[in-house]
Structure 1
Amino acid sequence: MRVTQGCFSFLPDLSDAQISAQIDYCLSKGWAIGVEYTDDPHPRNTYWEMWGHPMFDLRDAKGVMIELDACRKAEPEAYIRLVAFDSTRGFETVTMSFIVNRPKVEPALTMSRTEVDGRSIRYTHQLVR
């Protein structure tokens, strides 16, 4: 199963050149970039671990790519995503995020449906490794 979260998740994995082009786009808009990683890609897990600090003062994609490579070396079997923050309104807002690294074997996510009182339905999700 392929985890699909964020921008570009239904496309094939981006090459480093394509990732760099997306970073350049974000930087041209004045957005800060952060690198995050996790081993739990559950859709409700929105709080991934941050790799270092968001890069607010960068103007070149090379700085982000250096941090991304360091994260890939330290966490090769993790999901890694880049997050772009827009601070033009005075607070940080996630404007764009996309996955840039995946484990070799992705876990499957199963969903079970249970009918309860009335016409209500409850859903439970579970990762199958």
Structure 2
Amino acid sequence: MAVPADSLFIYGNFLSGIENGLLLSRTLNKIDKKSYKELFSKIKTEDAKKTIVQDLKIGSEQEKRTIDTIYLDLGCFSALVQLEKLVDENDFRYKMNKIGEKLLMDTYNYELIDQLIDVIPDKEFQKIEYRRMLLRLIYNHLTTEKIQ
């Protein structure tokens, strides 16, 4: 039986593939906070974006449909926050959720992106589930034009 095109399996592999492509092309030096911040700094310029998109051969309509919304992960975090017994305002996931909600309104706010990176503990940053939101932001910054 084939895996449905909209499955989490394909979605997760797609984000992992983007990250691996960034690493293989040396666009992303390694999986750490400093390298992610450097990457966001690089993709602020149109020339750098074009080069990365060409190197990775990304940006097809199929991909854009796969990664339709950059904040699917907020649903998971929000569900935890709405269950009052699980809310801990000091927990990094709670803080990620709050920063993510602000990024919904301004996906090119690099100060908020830096805050999002900083709030994730180093140990947890090594887990892709906490980098998914960042990977979606990277993909969208590379393949969409900033609306002024």
TM-score, structure 2 normalization? 0.31
Choose between structure 1 and 2: higher helix proportion: 2
Choose between structure 1 and 2: higher strand proportion: 1
Q: Higher relative contact order by CA 8 Å / sep ≥ 6: 1 or 2?
A: 2
TM-score, structure 1 normalization? 0.34
